């Protein structure tokens, strides 16, 4: 006699809107998260997974002496809700953004002990990546060997932390620090220029690239000065004129345009013009009017003689699509970044991006008619593009220059604190501006204990910092 087959249970599908919760024996129906992908440190896109947030918070609770899966789950959900409120489905947060939000949510829920353990866990993961890659020049888009040299230099000159920098200011040695920092920066530029001169018979294009406010323009000028002193003839091309009309760029709910991606530039026309220049043909570059957001074609005449070198200063200069039709032996790629190794009062290192954010807030107000608050709220576009389209190409650079100047923080402090204080209050209760609130808090807390310097007379007129605070002898 045949046994009757028991009917199979109707199991829900494994794809959204269902998700398996490992903490329970049943499957729970959840609403799909609109954030589908995130940006890793190497610029790659991966699937968003709340379970990773849960695991990290759970480890932090365990480090306090009592693993709490229920608390970890509820915090992971709150973090996800905060991410949705800030990023929605229109932008992709980076790993860095998510970790910042985790810390913020834990602190907002008065879980300071767990937040501290999470910060320790986060730093340990960073150190593990560094240890794993110690033998390599650039790994995870971080030049670890270069960072070690920067840290040693800062320690030797007693400017590696808030306390040491304050001592330099109190002892009236600030002008000496300015002189030493500028000389170190110039020395790195000289080293890069010497490498160009070694291959001047082949190199036709020198590209100075790096993220926003890293000091590309001043660096390009100084490289040019050294090359010209050695007898090289130079021409410059303004890549900003190759922007498409602003109306073609994506726009968010606040009316802000995303013009930070390399696709905002006419890459095909750039390559065509570079090819023509190297063949000895004359071209007419476009003209882009930033006030109107409109481009006009065939405006500025430009040609390149056989013995001339073309200088390119561009955010996306190392992006493959920018010069893909030019042979590698004809290009020298110089990457610059604020590779600062400066410790805040809590012992954490200042983020390179925060250093550049400070510079851009001050520069945009003085030279681009943008309020620092606008720069702060636009910064998530800047960071997303940097992580995807700029920083990953550091490994392809022929030379790296550190443009961080420890003496700039006391100078930028008096200019920035009022705006940072306002941003903290303005965005405190706005979930859509959580990223701006987190950045404003972090930079404010870094700068607050630093002694401000208002007398800038010891800063020379050819200093890189003058690009951002004004008073430079260079024309930008």
CATH number, domain containing residue 406:
3.40.50.300
- Rounded distance, CA 105 to CA 84, Å? 13
**CA-closest candidate to residue 446, choices 335, 348, 325:** 348
Given 80, 100, 131, which residue is the final one in a domain? Answer: 131
pLDDT at position 252 is: 64
Note whether 156 and 64 are same-domain residues: no
| Domain coverage including residue 349 | 133-469
The answer to whether 30 and 73 have CB atoms below 8 angstroms apart is no
Dihedral angle at the C-alpha atoms of 280, 282, 288, 289, nearest 10 degrees? 140
Structural domain includes residue 218: yes
List, for residues 237-257, the tens digit of each pLDDT value.
Answer: 999 999 999 888 766 667 677
Helices vs. strands in the chain: H and E counts, helices first: 14, 11
**pLDDT band with cut points at 50, 70 and 90 for residue 307:** very high
pLDDT of residue 134: 35
Report pLDDT digits (tens) over 327-347.
999 999 999 999 999 999 988
What's the pLDDT band for 25 if we cut at 50, 70, 90? Answer: very low
In a domain, 5, yes or no: no
Q: Which residues of 413-450 are buried (b: 16+ CB within 10 A; e: fewer)?
A: bebbbebbeebbebbeeeeebbbbbbbbbbbbebbeeb
pLDDT > 50? residue 167: yes
Cβ atoms of 401 and 334 within 8 Å: the answer is yes
Domain match, 217 and 362 both: yes
Kindly provide the residue ranges of all beta strands, DSSP E only, lying in 320-435, ordered along the sequence: 331-337, 399-402
Top pLDDT among 7 and 53 is at 53
Mean pLDDT of 263-289: 96
Residue 476 lies in a domain: no
The verdict on 70 and 199 lying in the same domain is no
Residue-wise pLDDT for 457-470, tens only, equals 999 999 999 999 99
Regarding whether 51 and 100 lie in a shared domain, the answer is yes
Question: What mean pLDDT do residues 300-322 have?
Answer: 95
Whether 16 maps to a domain, the answer reads no
Which one of 90, 111, 131 terminates a domain? Answer: 131
Residue-wise DSSP of 277-346: HHTT--EEEEEEETTTTEEEEEEEEE---TTEEEEEEETTTTSTTTSTTS-GGGEEEEEEE-----B-TT
Tokens of 228: 């010209």
Bridge partners for 19 per DSSP? 28
The pLDDT value recorded for residue 20 is 36
Task: Tally Cβ neighbours within 10 Å of residue 135.
Answer: 8
Query: 163 pLDDT exceeds 80?
Result: yes
Q: How far is CA 87 from CA 43, 249, 355, 438, 441, in A?
A: 18, 18, 23, 14, 19
pLDDT of residue 132: 44
pLDDT for the residue 291: 83
Same domain, 349 and 273: yes
Averaged pLDDT score across all residues of the chain: 87
* Per-residue CA distances from 204 to 48, 183, 242, 327, 328 (Å): 43, 28, 20, 10, 10
Q: Please answer whether residues 271 and 326 qualify as being in contact, where contact means their C-beta atoms are separated by less than 8 angstroms.
A: yes
239 and 365 together in one domain: yes
Cβ-based burial of 462 (10 A; exposed 0-12, middle 13-18, buried ≥19): middle
> Do 155 and 255 belong together in one domain?
yes
Question: Considering its fold, how many domains does the chain have in total?
Answer: 2
The answer to the question of residue 39 being in a domain is yes
Give the residue from 453, 423, 448 showing the smallest Cα distance to 438.
423
Q: How many CB atoms lie within 10 A of CB 386?
A: 26
Phi, psi at 94, each rounded to 5°: -95, 170
Domain edge (last residue) among 131, 162, 194: 131
> What pLDDT does 71 receive?
93
pLDDT score recorded for residue 85: 87
Task: Say yes or no: 182 and 215 in one domain.
Answer: yes
- Give the pLDDT mean for 268-272: 98
How much of the chain exceeds pLDDT 70, in percent? 87
Q: For residue 128, what pLDDT band results from cuts at 50, 70 and 90?
A: low
pLDDT confidence bin for 131, thresholds 50/70/90 = very low
The pLDDT, as a whole number, for residue 9 is 42
Q: Is residue 158 in a domain?
A: yes
User: Do 365 and 250 share a structural domain?
Assistant: yes
Q: What does the pLDDT average to over 137-152?
A: 76
Q: Name the nearest CA neighbour of 154 among 405, 412, 351, 446.
A: 405
Residue position matching structure tokens 């995130």:
38
The CA distance from 430 to 438, in Å, is 11
Tokens representing residue 53 in the block:
């947030």
On whether both 191 and 319 belong to a single domain, the answer is: yes
Q: Which tokens is 247 given? A: 């109306």
pLDDT at 253: 62
Q: What is the pLDDT averaged over residues 209-234? A: 96
In a domain, 26, yes or no: yes
Mean pLDDT, residues 377-389: 88
Residue among 374, 375, 383 at smallest CA distance from 353 = 383
- pLDDT of 10: 43
Whole-angstrom Cα distance, residue 67 to residue 47? Answer: 27
Segment of 82-96, 374-388, 393-407 carrying the highest mean pLDDT:
393-407
Q: Give yes or no for a contact between 446 and 354, defined as CB atoms under 8 angstroms apart.
A: yes
* Judgement on whether residues 151 and 283 belong to the same structural domain of the protein: yes
CA distance 465 to 1: 91
For residue 400, the model assigns a pLDDT of 94
Flag whether 92 is in a domain: yes
Task: Answer yes or no: is pLDDT of 398 > 90.
Answer: yes
Indicate left, alpha or beta for 48 from its phi (over 0: left) and psi (-120 to 50: alpha): beta
Residue 141, pLDDT score:
63
One domain for residues 97 and 215:
no
């Amino acid at each position: 006699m045949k046994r009757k087959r028991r009917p199979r249970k109707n199991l829900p599908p494994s794809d959204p809107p269902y998700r398996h919760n490992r903490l329970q024996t049943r499957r729970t129906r959840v609403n799909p998260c609109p954030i589908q992908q995130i940006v890793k440190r190497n610029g790659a896109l991966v699937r968003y997974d709340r379970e990773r947030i849960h695991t990290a918070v759970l480890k932090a609770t365990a480090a306090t002496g009592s693993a709490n899966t229920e608390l970890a789950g509820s915090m992971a959900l709150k973090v996800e809700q905060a991410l949705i409120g800030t990023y929605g489905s229109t932008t992709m947060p980076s790993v860095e953004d998510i970790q910042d939000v985790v810390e913020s949510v834990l602190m907002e829920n008065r879980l300071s002990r767990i937040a501290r353990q999470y910060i320790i866990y986060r730093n340990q993961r960073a150190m593990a990546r560094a240890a794993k890659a110690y033998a390599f020049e650039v790994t995870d888009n971080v030049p670890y060997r270069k960072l070690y040299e920067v840290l040693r230099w800062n320690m030797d000159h007693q400017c590696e932390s808030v306390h040491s920098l304050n001592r330099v200011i109190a002892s009236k040695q600030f002008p000496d620090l300015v002189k030493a920092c500028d000389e170190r920066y110039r020395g790195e530029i000289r080293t890069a220029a010497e490498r160009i001169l070694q291959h001047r018979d082949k190199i036709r294009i020198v590209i100075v690239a790096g993220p926003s406010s890293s000091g590309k323009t001043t660096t390009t000028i100084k490289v040019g000065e050294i090359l010209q002193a050695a007898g090289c003839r130079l021409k410059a091309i303004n890549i900003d004129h190759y922007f498409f009309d602003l109306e073609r760029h994506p726009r968010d709910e606040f009316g802000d345009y995303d013009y930070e991606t390399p696709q905002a530039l006419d890459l095909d026309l750039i390559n065509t013009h570079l090819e023509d220049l190297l063949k000895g043909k004359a071209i007419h570059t476009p003209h882009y009017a930033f006030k109107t957001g409109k481009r006009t074609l065939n405006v500025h005449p430009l040609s390149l003689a056989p013995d001339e070198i073309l200088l390119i200063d561009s955010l996306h200069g190392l992006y493959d699509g920018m010069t893909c039709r030019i042979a590698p032996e004809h290009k020298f790629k110089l990457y610059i970044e604020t590779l600062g190794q400066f410790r805040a009062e809590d012992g954490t290192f200042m983020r390179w991006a925060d250093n550049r954010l400070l510079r851009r807030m001050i520069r945009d107000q003085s030279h681009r008619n943008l309020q620092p608050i606008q720069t702060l709220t636009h910064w998530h576009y800047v960071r997303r593009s940097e992580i995807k389209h700029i920083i990953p190409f550091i490994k392809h650079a022929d030379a790296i220059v550190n443009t961080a100047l420890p003496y700039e923080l006391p100078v930028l402090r008096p200019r920035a604190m009022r705006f940072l204080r306002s941003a903290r209050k303005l965005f405190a209760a706005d979930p859509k501006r959580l990223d701006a609130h987190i950045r404003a808090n972090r930079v404010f807390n870094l700068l607050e204990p630093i002694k401000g310097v208002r007398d800038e007379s010891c800063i020379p007129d050819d200093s890189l910092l003058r690009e951002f605070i004004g008073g430079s002898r260079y024309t930008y």
